[in-house]
Amino acid sequence: MNKAEKSDQFDVEALRKRVSAANADGGDQETPGQINPYARQIAEQFREGTRSPSMVIGQLRLFEFVSQFTIGLLAFLIWPGDGSESLAARAGMAAAVAALGVVALQLADTYSIPALRARIRLLPRILSAWAAAFTGTEVIFSLFRDLPWSQINLHIAWFSLASLFLLGSRFLVAYGIRNWARNGVMERRAVIVGGGEPAKDLIRILEQQADNDIRICGIFDDRGEKRSPVMVAGYPKLGTVAELVEFVRLTRIDMLIIALPLSAEARILQLLKKLWILPVDIRLAAHANRLRFRPRAYSHVGSVPMLDIFKKPIRDWDSVAKRGFDIFFASLALALLWPVMILTAIAIKLTSKGPVFFMQKRHGFNNEVINVFKFRSMYTSMSDYNAKTVVTKGDPRVTPVGRFIRKSSIDELPQLFNVLKGDLSLVGPRPHAVLAQTKDRAWGDIVEGYFARHRVKPGVTGWAQINGWRGEIDNDDKIKFRTAYDLYYIENWSLWFDLKILFLTPIRLLNTENAY
């Protein structure tokens, strides 16, 4: 490994490992707290989400493929020629042209936000890429069949109509994206961590960028006014790093940019120990550093080089895929298990007084409080809505039916409705009760990095549960191991991983050792 490779590894991977190690050994763990009134007022402006550039670009690719395929079919229906081509053959050719067209437009770099914002300047490049794709497809298909002269006019009309539609739609897209940028609909929201001159220089560079899509929402810094003024380059310092944690939980922020030199390693590490629990990108601005790494070590915000320390998990199209996975399998589970749920509801109603369902407040994504449904397993007069006292073996609060449904996890089945509602995912870290604790100690005080579990939606089942970490938590090690498995899941998520956990869940539930 050469020096450059060592530097790259240190700056990203080694730093990330040191944060995790520091949290495992101990340190200041931020818990949900309060922010000052001014920061809360600013936070109110950023509660609504924005349109992700990645999602917009993906949707545009899909739209252009479908529209060009449709135009190819319409051209055939309007000008069928001499009938030598079948509808199936034309559909195959239209699909090939549309697919190759999207690939050509991608290779021509016309699917970036700056390119999409350009109304006129890039239209010749777009037309050239489309013409190359169309011509290339025609040449390939001509190798397998002769094109009658009567069909030439049809293909010219097809190309002309498709080109006009593509150029017109791109002009309208450019107008829409510019309008979204002005109105804050499509922007990346950033918070600067660290003040003073480094933050000022960073802000100035970002503001000078052409087609800048970054909205700076404020600055947070622990240092006093001498070293970190209350106003930096026209942006206010909203509070301390501790307040930043709560600020991000109240808003829809995309990234945190640490404006500190690489030489301030100890302070960067201290900041990351507090911030890594948040579901946002965390980047270290590298524009002012003399030490340079290989180009692939950097990501860029405009032309500003950044070092990616932590990335938001399950984002953009991954989140769409996971949501589709949840809806499909939750609906399938309800279709298969509704008789079990009906029988359970009848058994609960016949054997004890009170409602069939039990609702409990638990921590959800980004530490938000959600209402989770369960079948009631305790006597109504003894129900513990805050889950402050864990259920133990032979607990007198649990009904006879409750013991069975808790051991078999049938009491969790109503959470499938939480999945369809969007509060839960099928697979993820289990949602813990807001006041959950062990021996009068909150779990957030026991486990460093506990709140990092909330960087993704909680799940009905999870990696920790199928590995035996379910049921009663009566000592510190159990919640530490559960959290460690949850964090492993977040860092290694994939749809295949979700599928594996989902199908192993019924098998592993046969082990009821810790379920009371």
Q: How far apart are CA 516 and CA 479, in angstroms?
A: 17
The burial class, CB within 10 Å (0-12 / 13-18 / 19+), for 401 is buried
Q: How far apart are CA 398 and CA 391, in angstroms?
A: 8
Q: What is the torsional sign of CA 155, 161, 164, 167? A: negative
Q: Which residues contact 148 (CB under 8 A, 6 or more apart)?
A: 81, 82, 84
The burial class, CB within 10 Å (0-12 / 13-18 / 19+), for 253 is buried
DSSP-based three-state secondary structure for 218: strand
User: Which tokens sit at 313?
Assistant: 């998990």
| Domains of the chain, earliest start first | 3-50+187-312 (3.40.50.20), 53-183 (no CATH), 317-508 (no CATH)
Q: What is the pTM of this model?
A: 0.79
What per-residue confidence (pLDDT) applies to 511?
A: 63
DSSP calls for 100-142: HHHHHHHHTT-SSHHHHH-SSTTHHHHHHHHHHHHHHHHHHHH
Nearest to 165 by CA among 90, 96, 115, 98: 98
What per-residue confidence (pLDDT) applies to 332?
A: 95
What per-residue confidence (pLDDT) applies to 489?
A: 95
**SS3 letters for 399-463?**
CHHHHHHHHCCHHHCCHHHHHHHCCCEEECCCCCECCCEECCEEHHHHCCCHHHHHHCCCEEECH
Per-residue pLDDT of the chain (516 residues; tens, 9 = 90+): 443 333 344 344 554 555 455 454 444 444 445 788 888 888 888 888 778 888 889 999 999 999 999 998 888 777 766 666 677 777 888 899 999 999 999 999 999 888 888 888 888 999 999 999 988 887 776 665 665 555 677 778 888 899 999 999 999 998 888 888 777 777 888 999 987 788 888 888 888 876 677 888 889 988 777 777 788 888 888 888 888 988 988 888 889 999 887 777 788 888 888 888 899 999 988 765 555 555 555 677 767 788 888 888 998 889 999 999 999 999 999 999 999 999 999 999 898 888 999 888 888 998 888 999 999 888 877 776 666 666 667 678 888 888 888 888 888 999 999 999 999 999 999 998 887 777 777 787 788 888 889 999 999 999 998 888 876 677 778 888 899 999 999 999 999 999 999 999 988 776 656 554
Q: Which residues contact 292 (CB under 8 A, 6 or more apart)?
A: none
Q: Which residues contact 84 (CB under 8 A, 6 or more apart)?
A: 148, 150, 151
What per-residue confidence (pLDDT) applies to 327?
A: 96
**Edge-to-edge strand order for the sheet containing 214-220?**
231-232, 235-239, 214-220, 188-193, 255-258, 281-285, 304-310, 299-301
Q: Are 257 and 192 in contact (CB under 8 A)?
A: yes
What per-residue confidence (pLDDT) applies to 39?
A: 85
The burial class, CB within 10 Å (0-12 / 13-18 / 19+), for 9 is middle
Q: Are 487 and 449 in contact (CB under 8 A)?
A: yes
